[in-house]
């Protein structure tokens, strides 16, 4: 006979509780743990099962059940971390609150953000105490991430279009993420690179010699991870058309070709517009303005930089080109596709939350 599971507790929220949970789930000052717990409770209030919530939020069913029952018993206060066993805290809640508030809302006179030593001196506590409080609340004042809201009037349509190509590609078609990596420099160190030794990292001089540049065109096939590349002295419209012709030659004639591009002017010249009607199987899809992060070929360029170019030295453009071709050949022998996981609705919801936060 099967063992009965733990009974599911129904969650009903007041308007005030719902607003608080939504605020905790989206604001940047919330810890990741508190944000997840808030999303779990909001999903429970929608009548979803523990299994469905665990799949939706990427957590364990036991975690969902725990915070469902904790909230049912203690409401909002139950979502905080329970006190740990051990010695009693010597720092009061008022000091903790003051340090958190000052970290989030003020800056010192001589800097753009607080340091542990600065706050410790101001509140008469140790630097380690401030560090522990920051870790508990997920605060990292020294970090700054770059982000810009796209002013593209077709933002929503473009996001849905590109995510649709990634997650539900059309039948009888090849989807490519295409872009250029311009001005790759052939750099040679002014002295030989010393190899890595036990306890000693690889060593290279800080200065280098410039030996010319080249441009790399790349088309990443979304389904397989294979890459079509071309090396050119520049990235003009004419060079871009030559690369499109190369893609056209390498893709089987019976397939349509969907190309994801950014908004570089080279991709939209009259010459390119004249090329498209002569190649009716090609369909261009442009990322939103300031949305080149949606182009998966940028992830491949990052792998090329970190795994090959960053620690290499080249005495000539020819040597650089040979190195890149060999690396691409090795990649295509065992390609690894980059899989897009986030649906368009989740991206748009995150963007709406960010806009709501900055407007508040």
Instruction: For residues 68 and 212, state if they share a domain.
Output: no
Instruction: For residues 181 and 33, state if they share a domain.
Output: no
The CB-based long-range contact list for 64-68 (8 Å cut-off, 24+ gap) reads: 64/40, 65/6, 65/8, 67/37, 67/40, 67/41, 68/8, 68/9, 68/11, 68/40, 68/41, 68/44
Let me know if residue 359 belongs to a domain.
no
pLDDT by residue, tens only, the chain of 360 residues:
344 445 578 888 888 888 888 887 776 555 677 888 888 888 888 888 888 888 888 888 888 888 888 888 888 877 776 655 555 667 788 888 889 999 998 999 888 999 999 999 989 899 999 999 999 888 999 998 877 788 888 999 999 999 999 999 999 999 999 999 999 998 888 788 888 888 888 888 787 788 889 999 999 999 999 999 999 988 889 999 999 999 999 999 999 999 999 988 889 899 999 999 999 999 999 999 988 889 999 999 999 999 988 888 888 999 999 999 999 999 999 999 999 999 999 999 988 887 887 776
Instruction: For residues 229 and 336, state if they share a domain.
Output: yes
Instruction: Show Cβ contacts of residue 248 under 8 Å, excluding neighbours closer than 6 positions.
Output: 257, 279, 282
Residue 291: CB atoms within 10 A of its CB come to 18
Let me know if residue 267 belongs to a domain.
yes
Instruction: For residues 224 and 128, state if they share a domain.
Output: no
Let me know if residue 9 belongs to a domain.
no
Let me know if residue 340 belongs to a domain.
yes
Q: Between the CA of residue 56 and those of 59, 163, 234, what are the distances in Å?
A: 8, 18, 46
Of 253, 179, 264, 255, residue with least CA distance to 223: 255
Instruction: For residues 165 and 274, state if they share a domain.
Output: yes
Let me know if residue 97 belongs to a domain.
no
Instruction: For residues 35 and 182, state if they share a domain.
Output: no
* Segments forming the whole domain that contains residue 116: 103-145
Let me know if residue 84 belongs to a domain.
no
Let me know if residue 67 belongs to a domain.
yes
Q: Residue 73 in 3-state DSSP?
A: helix
Instruction: For residues 293 and 246, state if they share a domain.
Output: yes
Instruction: For residues 113 and 53, state if they share a domain.
Output: no
Instruction: For residues 121 and 68, state if they share a domain.
Output: no
Give the single-character DSSP code of 196.
P
- Give the CATH number, domain containing residue 160: 3.30.420.10
Name the domain count of the chain: 3
Let me know if residue 276 belongs to a domain.
yes
Instruction: For residues 176 and 283, state if they share a domain.
Output: yes
Instruction: For residues 180 and 309, state if they share a domain.
Output: yes
Of 286, 304, 306, residue with least CA distance to 294: 286
pTM equals 0.67
Instruction: For residues 228 and 266, state if they share a domain.
Output: yes
d(CA 280, CA 76): 58
């Amino acid at each position: 006979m099967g063992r009965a599971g733990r009974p599911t507790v129904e969650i009903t929220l007041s308007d005030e509780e719902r607003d608080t949970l939504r605020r905790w789930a989206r604001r940047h000052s919330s810890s990741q743990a508190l944000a997840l717990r808030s999303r779990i409770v909001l999903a429970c209030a929608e009548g979803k099962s523990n299994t469905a919530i665990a799949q939706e939020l990427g957590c364990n069913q036991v975690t969902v059940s725990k915070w469902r029952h904790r909230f049912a018993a203690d409401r909002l206060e139950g979502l905080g971390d329970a006190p740990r066993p051990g010695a009693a805290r010597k720092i009061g809640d008022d000091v903790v609150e003051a340090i958190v508030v000052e970290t989030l809302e003020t800056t010192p006179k001589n800097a753009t953000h607080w340091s542990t030593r600065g706050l410790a001196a101001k509140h008469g506590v140790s630097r380690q105490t401030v560090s522990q409080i920051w870790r508990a609340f997920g605060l990292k004042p020294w970090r700054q991430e770059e982000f810009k809201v796209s002013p593209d009037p077709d933002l929503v349509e473009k996001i849905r279009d590109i995510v649709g190509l990634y997650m539900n590609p059309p039948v009888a078609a090849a989807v490519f993420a295409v872009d250029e990596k311009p001005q790759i420099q052939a750099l040679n160190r002014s002295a030989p690179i010393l190899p890595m030794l036990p306890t000693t990292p690889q060593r290279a001089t800080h200065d280098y010699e410039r030996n010319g540049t080249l441009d790399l065109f790349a088309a990443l096939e979304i389904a397989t991870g294979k890459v079509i590349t071309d090396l050119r002295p520049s990235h003009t419209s004419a060079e871009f058309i030559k690369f499109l012709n190369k893609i056209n030659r390498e893709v089987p004639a019976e397939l349509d070709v969907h190309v994801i591009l950014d908004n570089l002017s080279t991709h939209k010249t009259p010459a390119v517009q004249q090329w498209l009607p002569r190649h009716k199987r090609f369909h261009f899809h442009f990322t939103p303005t300031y949305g080149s992060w949606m182009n998966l070929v940028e992830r491949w360029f990052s792998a090329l930089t970190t795994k090959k170019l960053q620690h290499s030295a080249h005495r000539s453009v020819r040597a650089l080109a040979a190195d890149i071709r060999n690396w691409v050949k090795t990649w295509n022998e065992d390609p690894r596709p980059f899989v897009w996981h986030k649906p368009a609705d989740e991206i748009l919801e995150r963007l709406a939350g960010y806009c709501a936060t900055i407007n508040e």
